[in-house]
Chain A
Amino acid sequence: MITGHAGMPADQSHADPRPGRAGADAAASLISPWEDAALAATLFAIDPAGTGGVALRALAGPVRDRWLELARGLLPAGGPRLKIPLHVSEGRLLGGMDLAATLRAGRPVAERGLLAQADGGVVELAMAERLEGATAAHLTAVLDSGEVVLERDGIAARSESRLGVIALDEGVGEDERLPEPLRDRLAFHLDLARFGIHDTEVTIPWGPAEVAAARARLPVVTIGDDFVETLCGAALALGIASLRGSLLAIRVARLAAALAGRDQVAEEDVAAAARLVLAPRATRLPAGEPAPEEEPPPEPPPPDPDEGQNEDEQDIPDQPLEDMILEAAQAAMPKDLLDQLRAGVERRSRPRSQGKAGAQQHASLRGRPIGARRGDPGPGVRMNVVETLRAAAPWQIIRRREVAARGLTPKRVEVRRDDFRVTRFKQRAETTTIFAVDASGSSALHRLAEAKGAIELLLASCYVRRDRVALVAFRGQGAEVLLPPTRSLVRAKRSLASLPGGGGTPLASGIDLSLLLADGVQRRGGTPTLVVLTDGRANVARDGQGGRARAGEEALAAARLVRLAGVRALLVDTSPHPQPKARELAGAMGARYLPLPYADAGTLSAAVQAVAG
């Protein structure tokens, strides 16, 4: 067995309690990213339930396989390891009535769900980026409480379940990722996309024996108060709002100490925790300006990490240590994340979860059962087995007697056609209204304000109808999605209020992007309605070049695609005097045309509702 710990630099910091920046740099440069990934696997394997788990972002492939192999090899022997497929039914996940056994036994028999079976082990979530909100909520409930609470199919049970989660997130885009509530509870967020297979050919200096020893040592490992403070301060400076981040970092620091054979958490353990737990969660850089917050500042303004931690005289004692930790964290951030943070772009954690939220809502609506009723299964109606059994249940004794009287052997359960119960699902196609707003200079700022006002009123009526809304703006060189489909009125209002105006009119790009969103909505089974607010005077082509003629042609072409896609649309002409161009565009789009000068908010709202049907 190889000795020494490659994941942690040689232990020298004990002698000097506060090494300076040089020490931190050295620490950061000593650690290769793959060793950190391996360290995460090891620490997770020591205490799967305590760390919550790993959000593993990678496409399926040899690198991910290598990582999983490593983690599996270190996990406690004999613990259950279950794979949970994406479309697992609630019944299988939580448990419920075991129909086969119930029929055999002639009395209700409960079946343990996957989450209960995984007690003391690990569950692997396949394609976790597409996980439904409800499934994620079951997992978070188990992670929080350590038990599965079952209230289904006439069965009530609680069973203990302490498990760790490996969420295999295969998302590629920004919007595809693990639901935020679950992600928040997993200590490690790893992105393996940056590794090639040759990166993984590093010998890892731990084996199952070291991991087992660390597991045994873990209960006695303590962490000093100053380290707790350091980690909390670093989390705050990196803009990590949820306190779970800090708490998990402390646990991971303790695990790192246990692995290194220490009873006391040392600085390198804290640094490891910062790299592995805090860095991937960062929403801003500690030294830079706080990223533009979307929310109005809360009553006590958040302490500026810059002044609060680094320049105040009273904070001197902790400062170098915290700096070191922050630097370690920063060094561990992938380059693209760093660039994003540096550019002052707030990581879109909120919008992302918003987009997901829409999908979750939709999923719960799609299959809204409107009760079971007597009837035969057929198209659009599904047999409800449990309800059927319920209906048959009271008659069993009588029927058995009848059957016996006819000289036949009664079955365990005698089900007649009369007992058949079917569930009807009400297909409520959810409407998503996509607003495409022309924020160009030609749309003139005063008209933009009016358009904003009109949209806000529309938003209010969308809220009443519980529609989802999305917002696309186009100006200057191109178009952008300000708000992916959401139900949050507050968010819609905010992104609208902060919409700037000015620049050219890239109408074609705006329509293209809206159509893309509409397509996504349709794919998920929703009904999109497109509301375009523009004066129709396109002057920027798709490639960002100026030129009225080409831009106009492209806009018309894009509009025709809308008609082809069968998306219902409304075009609101925002110019002071109705424009033939806008009317022409509406014609190409198959959209209803509504000149704003004549439209008050009420007319507008009625028009959208008429279009949305």
Chain B
Amino acid sequence: MPIAFPFSAIVGQDEMKQSLLVAAVDPSIGGVLVFGDRGTGKSTAIRGLAALLPKMRAVVGCAYGCDPEASAGSLCADCQDKAAKGIKPKSHLVPVPVVDLPLGATEDRVIGALDLERALTQGEKAFEPGLLARAHRGFLYIDEVNLLEDHLVDALLDVAASGENLVEREGLSLRHPARFVLVGSGNPEEGELRPQLLDRFGLSVEVRTPEDLPTRVKVVRLRDEFERDQPAFVAKWKRKDGKIRQQIETAKAALTAVAVPDQTLEQAARLCLALGTDGLRGELTLIRAARALAALEGDTTAGVPHLKRVAAPALRHRLRRDPLDESGSTVRVQRAVEELFPA
């Protein structure tokens, strides 16, 4: 594994960092899409996040890394059997999986397929879990998501919505849990994303190259320092990364305790109404993201200030396309926020 650039050493790009942290605190938000210019550190941020995520507890020997505390419904078949027999599974701490879905991956590796080795050598029909299984409870990262082959997108769409991977191939018939945070990055110039896939991402972030000299110098200097001596650089930023890890852990624990007053719900609904977003997903994401942000910042109540800050990433990709409106969706969200919540 190559050494990742420390998350805390990323200069600027606050919206991207905030969105990734929010998604890490509450996986049910449904992932982050990072779209933007070349060379803005999109993949860097995601790999950096992977390196600092707090560990999670998983059942020993479970191919899917099941949560020992989970209810029976969200366990894999093996763990369900054990739970039904009343066996208390042993558990251990493992790193949260951050799985790459590289371009050029084949369907069998993504969904899982017949274990060829065992089939050939022992004549056994066994299932070899794929990337979706490995990403369970963690992150599935797709770089250049807009270049992903259509048939892989199809496979992903269903799983990302249902949290379950259904395998019906080569005489295999099984299902296993696959709940993951979908993280995608790409450059919009190379093609747009299918609307259905766009909708699977809870948050969407636009990144731009910084335009001012001091920021650019800072970015380049840090990057250069990192490349010259990676271990030393990582050691230098270890404490700051550790602080963020602590922040995520605390926020995760505090998440359920964060109050969402009726007034916040009402304001979220008004904002979505004003923007004309389709369905309830936008509203739900908005509220969840505001709550996760409140938890991250140690607040006990999610209020309008939190809403305002997550409004753009939660809603900008859910607006109806209007070919006659020149202004981008970010501007439209900002406008609506300013109208509804004057400072």
* Distance between Cα atoms of A497 and B110 in the complex (Å): 43
In the assembled complex, the Cα of A493 lies from the Cα of B191 at a distance in Å of: 15
Residue from B100, B104, B220 in contact with A152 in the complex, judged by beta carbons closer than 8 Å: B104
A107 and B121 contacting across the interface, CB-CB below 8 Å: yes
Given contact pairs A158-B1, A180-B189, A243-B41, enumerate 9 new A-B contacts (beta carbons under 8 Å).
Answer: A141-B143, A147-B2, A242-B209, A357-B189, A368-B151, A369-B151, A371-B151, A396-B120, A397-B122
Does A4 count as interface, using CB distance less than 8 angstroms?
A: no
State the CA gap A305–B131 with chains docked (Å): 48
Residue of A at shortest CB range from B130?
A151
Does B82 reach chain A (CB closer than 8 Å)?
no
Q: Does A487 contact B (CB under 8 A)?
A: yes
| Residue pair B224, A247 in contact (C-beta under 8 Å) | yes
Contact check, A390 vs B149: say whether CB atoms are below 8 A apart. Answer: no
Q: Indicate if A398 sits at the interface (CB-CB under 8 A).
A: yes
Give the interface segment out of A195-203, A328-336, A454-462, A509-517: A454-462
Assembled-state Cα–Cα distance A88/B116 (Å): 26
Given A134-B147, A154-B128, A298-B211, A108 and B120 contact (CB-CB distance below 8 Å): yes
Q: Is A529 an interface residue (CB 8 A)?
A: no
A150 at the interface (CB under 8 A from B): yes
Known: A147-B2, A242-B38. A181 touches B190 (CB 8 A): yes
Closest approach, in angstroms, between the C-beta of B8 and any C-beta of chain A? 18
Of A225-233, A475-483, A556-564, the one contacting chain B is: A225-233
12 contacts between A and B (CB under 8 A): A146-B2, A241-B39, A250-B220, A303-B213, A357-B191, A365-B150, A368-B149, A389-B116, A393-B119, A396-B120, A460-B321, A463-B192
Contact with B along A149-180 (1 / 0, CB 8 A): 11111111010000000000000000000001
Give bound CA distance, A361 to B144, whole Å.
13
Q: Is there contact, CB below 8 Å, between B101 and A300?
A: no
A489/B102 in contact, CB under 8 A: no
Q: How many residues of B contact A (CB 8 A)?
A: 65
- Which 6 pairs from chain A and chain B are nearest by CB? A397-B123, A242-B39, A393-B119, A151-B109, A151-B105, A460-B323
Interface string of B104-121 (1 = CB under 8 A from A): 111011100111110111
Is A303 within 8 A of B147, CB to CB?
A: no
Separation of A357 and B187 alpha carbons in the complex (Å): 11
* Cα separation A377 to B266 with both chains bound (whole Å): 61
Q: Which size bracket describes the interface of A in this complex?
A: 35 or more
List chain B positions with a Cβ less than 8 A from chain A.
1-2, 37-41, 43, 100-106, 108-110, 113-117, 119-125, 128, 131, 143-144, 147, 149-151, 170-171, 187-192, 194, 208-213, 216-217, 219-221, 223-224, 228, 321, 323-324, 326
Measured CB to CB, the closest approach of chain B to A366, in angstroms, equals 11
State how many angstroms separate the Cβ of B79 from the closest Cβ of chain A.
Answer: 23
The verdict on A108 contacting B117 (CB below 8 Å), with A229-B217, A236-B213, A302-B211 known, is yes
Give the complex CA separation of A302 and B209 in angstroms. Answer: 11
Report the nearest A residue to B220, measured CB to CB: A246
A97's closest neighbor in chain B, by CB?
A: B116
